[in-house]
Amino acid sequence: MSDTPRTDAEECDAFIGIHSYFDADDVYRGYGFARRLERELTAAQAEALKLQEENAKLQERVRRLEEALDTLTLVVGLTPIAGNKEALQEAVDIARGELKAKDTQ
């Protein structure tokens, strides 16, 4: 099977009519260019699919990190840690801010 099926189909359907109006070399160059564009389109679509899958994985990771952060926040809030509670809460707040900043990007 060809890696440019759309161009191949157009070439087969249109070549007879086009050939009588244009120089054959021009026609072949045009189809060559169309094939290159079709290959680039196919590659771009594959890359977009790959990026969508990676995005879904990253979104799941963010969700799990947010859950872990919520748990940590709860533990820090319920556990009296002499002298360190404020520092731990500040660290949690900074981490939460970073997660929110990355989520909006």
| Predicted confidence (pLDDT) per residue in 51-85, tens digit | 999 999 999 888 888 887 877 777 666 666 556 67
Q: What is the number of structural domains in the chain?
A: 1
Range of the domain at 30: 5-104
Q: What is the pTM (predicted TM-score) of this model?
A: 0.56
* Among 64, 73, 74, CA closest to 96: 73
- Sequence-ordered list of residues with C-beta below 8 angstroms from that of 102, at least 6 positions apart, any chain: 62
Q: What pLDDT score was predicted for residue 43?
A: 96
